[in-house]
Amino acid sequence: MVKDITIYTTNTCVYCVMVKKWLGSKNISYNEVNLDVNPERAQEPVDLTGQLAVPVTVVTKADDSKEVIVGYNLAKLAPAVA
């Protein structure tokens, strides 16, 4: 069971829009951290992935385990939020 979803995004990221649109189409709520608005949080997705890429979607399960998905990757995102 999913406890929380956080997406790290930027204003110019097309794939960020696609992830948000896909989650919205499934009526799945999420928290967005826009790194253009919150540059002080830019290190968080780097620490999670080792990359300077967005979107980074963090799915936290009921047992507090986390699954981190980089990019628009429905093959990983769909089962993570199921």
Q: What are phi and psi of 54, to 5 degrees?
A: -135, 160
**pLDDT per residue as tens digits for the range 20-48:** 999 999 999 999 999 999 999 999 999 99
Amino acid (one-letter) located at 18: M
Q: What is the CATH number of the domain that holds 59?
A: 3.40.30.10
What is the model's pLDDT at position 48?
97
CA dist 65 and 74 (Å) reads 19
Parent domain of 15:
2-81
What is the model's pLDDT at position 63?
96
Q: What is the DSSP string of 7-53?
A: EEE-TT-HHHHHHHHHHHHTT---EEEETTT-GGGTHHHHHHHSS--
What is the model's pLDDT at position 76?
97
Question: Is residue 30 a contact partner of residue 20, using CB atoms and an 8 Å limit?
Answer: yes
Split into its structural domains, the chain has a count of 1
